[in-house]
Amino acid sequence: MNAELRTPYDFSGLGAMLTPRSVAIVGASGDPTRIGGRPIAAMLKAGFKGTILPVNPTRDEVQGLACYATVDDLPEAPEAGIVAVAAKHAPEVVDALGRKGCRSVTLFSAGFAETGADGERAQEDLLAIARRHGMRVLGPNTLGVYNVEIGYYGTFSSSLELAFPLSGPIGIASQSGAYGAHLAAMARLRGLGASVLITTGNEADVTVADAIGWMAGADEVEVILAYQEGFRDGPKLLAALDAARAAKKPVFMLKSGRSSLGASAAASHTASLTGDDAVAEAVLAEHGVIRVRDTEQMLDFAYAARPRIYPASNSLGIITVSGGAGIVATDEAAEQGLPMPLMPEAAQAKLLDLLPYGAPANPLDCTAQALNDLSLFEAFTRSALADGGYRSILCFLTYVAGGASLAPRLIKTLERLRAEFPDRLLALCIIADDEKVAAYERAGCLVFTDPSRAVRAIAAMGRVGAAFTAPEASRPALPSVALPQTAPDEHQAKALLGGAGIQAAPERIVRSADEAARAAADLGFPVVMKIVSPDIVHKSDIGGVKLAIADEIEARAAYGDILASVAASAPGAHISGVLVARQLSGGVECLMGISRDPVFGPVAVFGLGGIFVEILNDVAIRTCPFDHEAAKETIGSIKGASILKGARGRPAADIDALADMLSRLSAFAAAAGPRLVSIDLNPVLALPDGAFALDAVIELDEEARA
Amino acid sequence: MNAELRTPYDFSGLGAMLTPRSVAIVGASGDPTRIGGRPIAAMLKAGFKGTILPVNPTRDEVQGLACYATVDDLPEAPEAGIVAVAAKHAPEVVDALGRKGCRSVTLFSAGFAETGADGERAQEDLLAIARRHGMRVLGPNTLGVYNVEIGYYGTFSSSLELAFPLSGPIGIASQSGAYGAHLAAMARLRGLGASVLITTGNEADVTVADAIGWMAGADEVEVILAYQEGFRDGPKLLAALDAARAAKKPVFMLKSGRSSLGASAAASHTASLTGDDAVAEAVLAEHGVIRVRDTEQMLDFAYAARPRIYPASNSLGIITVSGGAGIVATDEAAEQGLPMPLMPEAAQAKLLDLLPYGAPANPLDCTAQALNDLSLFEAFTRSALADGGYRSILCFLTYVAGGASLAPRLIKTLERLRAEFPDRLLALCIIADDEKVAAYERAGCLVFTDPSRAVRAIAAMGRVGAAFTAPEASRPALPSVALPQTAPDEHQAKALLGGAGIQAAPERIVRSADEAARAAADLGFPVVMKIVSPDIVHKSDIGGVKLAIADEIEARAAYGDILASVAASAPGAHISGVLVARQLSGGVECLMGISRDPVFGPVAVFGLGGIFVEILNDVAIRTCPFDHEAAKETIGSIKGASILKGARGRPAADIDALADMLSRLSAFAAAAGPRLVSIDLNPVLALPDGAFALDAVIELDEEARA
């Protein structure tokens, strides 16, 4: 998979912002605690490998560096410009930087889109200036960026006064400056190396998606942590995620606004379009993102990614000296859907011979005895790796592993096992001092204290592996779709969809009682008859639908009844005719639909009819288009999927036919273009043999040009 | 609420085990790393306030103490006896201790019930010896106990070699020794004081329930952490939990075996009856236990309980300097069901005057500006407390609060607010060094780094408060129930339940076609007719049920058809007659039932009919008996409850009638005694006015004596 081939996005453009050889700080200050002083102080302290060019009309020297009065006076064109001046001066500074040949600007200045409509206009003007000069823009209202590897600190975060970040393979991309810096500080507290921080602020130009895309191609970063409130540019985000996946760099994302309460807080906080969280959830999963629940989980997963072992077909073997801890871990594995197959019987017998009171099934309880005799621990663990074949191993050894005499011997044992099985994920649940923890880590083990957190991290590494090795979904062929000028009526909608291979029950439109009787006889009884009118949406409410029509006499009568009811209730409605359709029965009622997400374009929705959707909100969502296999997976992912497979004594529904319809619908939506607002096929009847749309509503944006 | 009055359990009996004035160690060792040496070494180091009496026939002196050859030689009767000898010698030692007048024994010895049937018998024999002498028994196969307050260490845990526990109000009760000690070591790592650890091992006598009950009355303990795999003695557990609640000591419990995988691991690990996790979940919730998901959550909650502020009607106000962190916390509050009402409009206006670019709704975003000008932070926080009236406040101040110049001023501010609002829970989300964290804690604040974990802990304190202040449910009057000798048929079952006020649809049993027609006419059409036979369970499958009988002719015919079908399919069955019942329709189909939990006795189950139970397992469970209010709460707790309230355009069902039926059913089950195995009322039809059982099956234990 080569993301470059698939996308028009060039994420390497951020290089000038993150790996500059020279940086101008406009609004430079001699005070290392002021916004214009902090970046300089930090770079001096960290030994920035490039040239620092302070700009301030009132000073000749800043923090020991030569200072220039204006941007024009600079001796060279800086690759990066940091703008630490008041909002009203920002435009002239950005323009001057552009004229000088600067390639990127980081705008600390606040007072733009985050303050309302005036600020939004000012931000657009500022962006236009930068674009004219071909400069990329970070911010405005950003806390900035840093890159530990080259000592570049284009940030005014005061966290640097407490501690500098550690060098290491984690990259952090955060829309929120304070949250991003908090996350970085937490990583520092845990001893995790995070070389790159990018906070995007108002995202006039550079977004979290750009940051992810850049990290996908950056040598400094192997693991990406992202915080995002809402997405703006769907295709760019997906291109960035695909680039990260292609580079085998996991993306752990905290996407906030998951509750409606949180989303409304997000909306009040930024101008960003938070969108529908359910769509975001589906999109992130499709593109291999591991969505995390909280900050600590993000850091746990980043830590667990350190050995870069991502077991695609994950399974867990637990070696424990405590039955209790084994059960706690097993509960969590079940919760995470992480398989814990039992050990092969022959291997169990072998281990029971070694330790008669052990429990070698899985968890493998080798009892405290194994810590008196480490050869027992080694035998149990090797057997789990070799005979059990588990891709991941968790050893619960508690504080005993922290003992001064045991630790060195245990580390030797683990080193041996590590060397024999280099592709397995080895995790320990122990309590030990920092030095011993570091020694266990050097032996190639992950170290946790809480068994449940360890299991969650192991499960996440498996999900990363699955995402990395998932075959790329084939893109279905798109039909040619010619949308009408105005919204089609039911019959027209079904015909339009029928052209894309989406099947409705056999039906005919009629315009007289005689025609109705004839059509019904041709289609076969029972039939259903419905009014067709572009002006009537709720047909049943006004007597526009008759069900279970059993013969020609009833069909004739129904025609008259329907027209009379409609004439009485909706006298002005334009009547296209009456639809006569074969009334199918049995099977499972489903619904399918398309809605246009403002960020990700058309998304398909699938669910079962009735309470599943209406009460339980049990639907699956996927971005369009997608192939038959993806459709099947989508259908199978709803909670009520067992209904389709024949639960409660029903015959199984034709899931292949449903998947075929859903995939075709997704292709139709992708081909139809932005005038398509929504499609509702409700119900779709899934029979044991075939699936049929019994109703179809297509909504178009009639203001857009056809 | 006075637990003592309600229960026959005397939990103070554990005093001899946990606060002994003298202790004999039988199997005493001079080597402080051996099982018989560790307790002595630890008590010497900790300065145990009582007398230590080593017993070992081969030594005169042990670790500097006078050693006695046998128990009989001891100069006094020890309150506690620690038995650190091989299993085969344990009986004689326990007997000798009993004879000497010892009041409790802690049995380190392993090789009893955990090893199989022989061991189980040996354990029973050992227990019988102890009981004969009136001694309480901890273990066998226990890691022991400790009580930091008096320096008592009746444990051989090697964790003491790394660090001694800190004195403090947490008590830990754990079935698993290694897990309990691991939890204690994790608490130590986090600087949490946990003075008491009780590990119960094989639980021959003392169980986790006893430990909880003792802690409820012990001055040392204010917060109880419990780990349990399975419960054995329901009434004792409930008495202990009620005693803890009455003493206003929260119980945070990790109950493992929540997955079937985990439960099977639990079953293989101990002989303990793990029972049905869903029943345990319901029981724990009823008795105010906060069930935790993992070890870290247990410690988070124990930490948050430190100020002992448990807001019964909890609400959360978030003060933040970062919009992003505010949204993350808001998402978590929504997930936890923790209300975050908006600030009153007048207060918002006042705060906007102070800080025009702030967002004072809730979260209250006072921006980074508030950290430059602490009076802004103070104004926002005071307004949240005074005007917003939030019972809990979370301030996100990140690493800025760790700054050397800001921290002391911020602490002063918080101290002022703390003094003004002493009953509110104040939590901070900050990053600071240990010393500053301790200073913030001394100012009366909880300190977290992860905003989501902070919110979960705050929500848990609210749940504790709600449990502490919940009015005690009234116990419904029990009907007098006379169960028949053998299982009643449907008609008899309905009559029996009818005697307890549980209403079925009007019905009559008939024994001829004439009678059927007459009964049907009297009851009113339509009717349903069903075969009544103790020998036929699946009536429909063999043509034993006819629905929608519209007139007398059909009723007559149905009678003959039913008898003919049954005669053909089940020729030997005893036929009691045919039931004619008014066929009710409309409303919502529910089901109610009783099953007998081996630990907690009769439990009632309520759910909606069809897929809700069969596919979604959406049921509520409660132990019997319970009153109308509790029944209503139970009914309202299912996911599909909105169906009963009239979702999807249906009329609302008569929830009061359902609750009445469910409460009466619970009282019936409680009165019926242990011969009642189960009751199934399926379906129960909940109409807009009234609820009726349409079928009833009562299963009895026919081997038990009536």
> Percent of chain B at pLDDT above 70?
95
Q: Could you report the predicted ipTM of this complex, rounded to two decimals? A: 0.91
Of residues A612, A633, A9, the one with CA closest to residue A282: A633
Q: How close does chain B come to A522, measured CA to CA in Å? A: 34
Contact between chains at A178 and B322 (C-beta distance less than 8 A): yes
Fill in the amino acid letter for B395.
C
pLDDT for the residue A456:
98
Residue B642 pLDDT? 86
CB nearest to A431's CB, from B114, B185, B261: B185
> What pLDDT score was predicted for residue A7?
55
Q: What is the pLDDT of residue B471?
A: 84
Three-state DSSP state, A104: strand
How far are the Cα atoms of A158, A204, A660, B324, B427 from residue A179, in angstroms, in the given order?
Answer: 13, 19, 44, 6, 18
On whether the CB atoms of residues B252 and B218 are closer than 8 A, the answer is: no
Q: What is the pLDDT of residue A585?
A: 83
At A393 the three-state DSSP class reads strand
Nearest CB among A266, A615, A642 relative to B643 is that of A615
CB crowding B375-403: b at 16 or more within 10 Å, else e = ebbbbbbbbbbebbebbbbbbbbbbbbbb
pLDDT tens-place string over residues A559-570: 999 999 999 988
Residues 6+ positions from A394 with CB-CB distance below 8 Å: A316, A317, A318, A319, A329, A427, A428, A429, A451, A454, A455, A458
Query: Which residue does chain B place closest to A452, by CA atoms?
Result: B294
- Closest residue, chain B, to A325 (C-alpha): B179
Contacts of A333 in chain B (CB under 8 A): 259, 261
Burial of residue B329 (number of CB atoms within 10 Å: 0-12, 13-18, 19+): buried
Per-residue model confidence (pLDDT) at position A271: 36
Share of chain A above pLDDT 90, in %: 76
Confidence of residue B263 (pLDDT cuts 50, 70, 90): low
Query: Over 80: is that where the pLDDT of B655 sits?
Result: yes
Q: Which of A380, A406, A408 is nearest to A394 (CA)?
A: A380
| Tens-digit pLDDT profile for residues A682-697 | 899 999 999 999 999 9
Q: Is the pLDDT of residue B706 over 60?
A: no
pLDDT above 90: percentage of residues in chain B: 76
Q: Which residues lie below 8 Å from residue B612, measured CB to CB, with a gap of 6+?
A: A611, B618, B638, B639, B640, B643
pLDDT confidence of residue A270: 41
Q: A368 and B178: CB-CB below 8 Å?
A: yes
Confidence band, pLDDT 50/70/90 cuts, at residue A273 = very low
Nearest CA in chain A to B371: A158
A185 contacts in B (CB within 8 Å)? 398-399, 431
* pLDDT, greater one: B275 or B600: B600
Confidence of residue B610 (pLDDT cuts 50, 70, 90): confident
Q: Å from B164 to nearest chain A CA?
A: 12
C-alpha pair distances (Å), A202 with each of A517, B567, B615: 65, 80, 46
Contact B619, B613 (CB under 8 A): yes
**pLDDT tier, A3 (very low <50, low <70, confident <90, very high otherwise):** very low
**pLDDT (0 to 100) of residue B262:** 61
The beta-strand segments (E) located in B307-357 are: 316-320
CA-nearest residue to A227 within chain B is: B324
Rounded distance, CA B654 to CA B491, Å?
A: 24
Which token pair is B68?
A: 């006695």
Give the residue from chain A lying closest to B230, CA to CA: A324
- Comparing CB atoms, the residue among A259, A293, A324 nearest residue B229 is A324
Question: In this predicted model, what pLDDT tens digit does every residue of A50-93 receive, in sequence order?
Answer: 999 999 999 999 999 999 999 999 999 999 999 999 999 999 99
Which pLDDT does position A265 carry in this prediction? 57
- The pTM assigned to this predicted structure is 0.92
**Model pLDDT for residues A454-487, shown as the tens digit of each residue:** 999 999 999 999 999 988 778 899 999 999 988 8
How large is the average pLDDT for residues A280-301? 94
Whether cis (ω within 30° of 0) applies to the bond prior to A165 is: no
Flag whether pLDDT at A160 surpasses 60.
yes
pLDDT score for A266: 57
What integer pLDDT is reported at residue B702 of this predicted model?
77
Q: At what angle do helices B323-336 and B451-469 cross, to 10 degrees?
A: 40
Cα-based distances in Å from B180 to A399, B163, B197, B229: 12, 15, 7, 12
Q: Give the minimum alpha-carbon distance from B168 to chain A in angstroms, rounded to a whole number.
A: 21
Residue B216's closest CA among B467, B3, B462?
Answer: B3
| Average pLDDT for A409-418 | 97
Compute the count of residue pairs across chains A and B with CB atoms less than 8 Å apart.
251
CA A77 to chain centre: 39
**Chain A residues within an 8 Å CB radius of B159:** 398-399, 431
More confident residue, B295 or A585: B295
Section A489-508 average pLDDT: 92
Question: What pLDDT shows up at residue B540?
Answer: 82
Secondary structure element (H or E) that encloses residue B661, with its range:
helix B655-672
**Is B260's pLDDT higher than 80?**
no
Q: For A661-677, how does the pLDDT look when each residue is reduced to its tens digit (9 = 90+)?
A: 999 999 999 999 999 99
Q: Which residues of B touch A162 (CB under 8 A)?
A: 399, 402-403, 431
Give per-residue pLDDT as tens, B500-523: 999 998 899 999 999 999 999 999
Pick A450's closest partner by Cβ from B181, B295, B615: B295
For residues A473 and A471, what is the distance between their CA atoms, to the nearest angstrom? 6
Q: Which of B176, B186, B403 is opposite residue A161, by nearest beta carbon?
A: B403
The arithmetic mean of pLDDT across residues B557-582, rounded, is: 90
Nearest-angstrom CA–CA distance, B663 and B240: 25
Query: What are the structure tokens assigned to B183, written together?
Result: 């939890």
What's the pLDDT tens digit per position in A594-634?
999 888 999 999 998 877 777 777 889 999 999 999 999 99
The number of residues in chain A equals: 706
C-alpha to C-alpha distance for A455 and A395, rounded to whole angstroms: 11
Minimal Cα distance from A646: which residue of B? B615
Say which of B180, B189, B266 has its CB closest to residue A327.
B266
| pLDDT for residue B541 is more than 90 | no
Choose from A158, A159, A175, A182 for mutation: most chain B CBs within 10 A: A182
All residues of chain A having their beta carbon less than 8 Å from the beta carbon of residue B158 are 399-400, 403
Please report the pLDDT score of residue A370 as a whole number. 84
Residue of B nearest to A116 (CA): B357
Cβ contact (<8 Å) for A647 and B614?
Answer: yes
Taking an 8 Å cut-off on Cβ atoms, the answer to whether B431 and A296 are in contact is: no
State the pLDDT at residue A705.
56
Residues on chain B touching A262 (C-beta within 8 angstroms): 327-328, 330-331, 334
* Helix runs in B355-469, H state only: 369-372, 374-383, 406-420, 434-442, 451-469
Q: What is the mean pLDDT of chain A?
A: 92
Which range has highest mean pLDDT (A164-173, A370-379, B552-561, B590-599)? A164-173
- CB contact (8 A) between residue B611 and residue A648: yes
- What is the rounded CA–CA span in Å between residue B4 and residue A515? 84
* Partner-chain contact A648 B186, CB within 8 Å: no
Parallel, antiparallel or unpaired: strands A223-228 and A194-199 = unpaired
Asked whether residue B526 carries a pLDDT value surpassing 80, the answer given is yes
Q: What is the mean pLDDT of chain B?
A: 92
- Residue A268 pLDDT level (bands cut at 50, 70, 90): very low
Q: What are phi and psi of A508, to 5 degrees?
A: -150, 145
The reported pLDDT for the residue numbered A592 is 94
Residue B563 scores a pLDDT above 70: yes
Q: Which residue has the higher pLDDT, B24 or A576?
A: B24
How far does the CA of residue B501 sit from the closest CA of chain A (Å)? 32
Residue A702 has a pLDDT of 77
Cis amide bond preceding A140, omega within 30: yes
pLDDT attached to residue B539: 84
Domains in chain A, ordered, with CATH?
3-304 (3.40.50.720), 316-469 (3.40.50.261), 506-582 (3.30.1490.20), 588-700 (3.30.470.20)
* Band (B6; pLDDT cuts 50, 70, 90): very low
User: Is the confidence at residue A347, as pLDDT, over 70?
Assistant: yes
Q: Nearest chain A Cα to B158, which residue? A: A400
Separation of alpha carbons A152 and A202, rounded Å = 22
Cβ distance B330 to A259 less than 8 Å, yes or no, reads yes
